Copies of this chain bind each other. A is one copy, B any other.
């Protein structure tokens, strides 16, 4: 490699030229009755950052990787970070025999939407932006951002937010635990019982056990608990995940006590929106709405003022609030997302998910060894059409009696999934993520096709 210092030569020169031209053009555009020197502005201090960002974005990684402002540097120059299974300086080579990784819920399927809408979704953060702990109203949450979150729910029609309180958190993750603290008994001699219905998202159990509070204890599955406890002990905090992670089912409370509705996936690209959710405590996350998992931003919609104050207090004691930089970026993304009443973003996302499900269903329809969850059409108020759900995950079952470790069966076929036991279910089930990048999905489909064709040819691995 002989790229040494090209970056600085080319790049620094570019920045310098850009700034000089912009200064000499001296763009002054005033407007109306405002004083010229106040309302007008020529691009100056932001051009260096803009040039840096555009330079990095222009580095070609063959569509199979990305260079980032904070990414890897080689001899002073930002270089490509290749996606899974791709290698080489420009990520052009597919690594032969690489496993299809369908484990994580990384929502990279949305990335093309944001690349197509680059100008409307970029944000410039000045060095002095929001240095204080608090906004001007002494809160740690942006009022403007709250407005756009409410607007998003109103457009989509997936949650009642009128007269409800909002609290922001570090992803939905932090809010799940904040909600458990807020709903639990404060009498430590009788801790509240935290439950969920199998199969459930593993973090509910992991968090509740990790924090090991005297206020609550994890009691596992709602159905088992109900049959063992009748009505003797109703101090329960129940997680209801709807649509469910891993299987996409629309769920309701089993126990009917205090309930945390995890609505991470309750958006039109994953499920028909049959009406607004109207529960006491609902949790959403940006990750599964716009695809920005790395931003770590979620929110809770809360009916009761006392619970709201407890959740707010949790955030304050744990972290003194959420990054202002993050809040600014989320605001910019949501401003774009609500444009056209959300039609552009949700059509993009829904079309992606529908296409993936159609191709996936076609593969599984040829198999008797593997099955996936049934999907049932429902009327979607948002799209005003009856549609099949297109869940974020396939919940795969190995149908053969002897193949009780389905993860191992898929692994032998070069596919990485998340085993059923992680969701407190049987290992006969495996979750496969359908929301990763197009490359990841194509490889997954290829490996699944190979596996199913082996089944039909009679030559099988494992």
Binding site for B on A (CB under 8 A): 2-3, 5-7, 9-11, 13-14, 17-19, 21, 25, 27, 29-34, 38-55, 57-60, 66, 68-73, 81-82, 104, 106-108, 110-111, 114-115, 117-136, 142-145, 170-171, 173-174, 177, 181, 188, 203, 206-207, 210-215, 291-297, 313-314, 317-329, 331-333, 336
Contacts and interface: CB of A to CB of B under 8 A. Distances in A.
9 contacts: A3-B32, A45-B118, A45-B122, A107-B131, A108-B132, A127-B332, A207-B318, A294-B324, A323-B326
Nearest to A4: B32
B323 A293 contact: no
A374 to B, nearest CB: 29
Given A27-B14, A32-B6, A318-B170, A132 B294 contact: yes
Given A46-B124, A69-B328, A170-B320, 6 more contacts: A45-B122, A70-B142, A107-B131, A108-B132, A111-B131, A296-B322
B323 A170 contact: yes
A72 B144 CA distance: 7
In the complex, the count of this chain's copies comes to 2
A384 to B, nearest CB: 28
Given A3-B34, A10-B34, A34-B6, A127 B122 contact: yes
Contacts of A3: 32-34
Contacts of A322: 170, 296
A368 to B, nearest CB: 35
A107 B106 CA distance: 36
A10 B355 CA distance: 43
A354 to B, nearest CB: 21
B71 A144 contact: yes
Between A46, A135, A136, the greatest number of chain B beta carbons within 10 A of the residue's beta carbon is seen for: A46
A70 B52 CA distance: 23
A7 B32 CA distance: 9
A17 to B, nearest CB: 6
Contacts of A43: 18, 47, 50-51, 54
Contacts of A46: 49-50, 53-54, 118-119, 122, 124
Contacts of A317: 203, 206-207, 210
Contacts of A47: 43, 50, 119
Q: Which 7 A-B pairs have the closest CB atoms?
A: A10-B31, A121-B127, A114-B127, A53-B124, A45-B118, A294-B324, A46-B50
B71 A58 contact: no
A40 B144 contact: no
A295 B329 CA distance: 12
A9 B27 contact: no
B17 A27 contact: yes
A332 B291 CA distance: 24
Contacts of A48: 119-120, 122
Contacts of A203: 317
B173 A318 contact: yes
A29 B6 contact: no
Contact of A119 (B7, B45, B325): B45
Contacts of A319: 170-171, 173-174, 296
A124 B126 contact: no
A235 to B, nearest CB: 16
Nearest to A331: B70
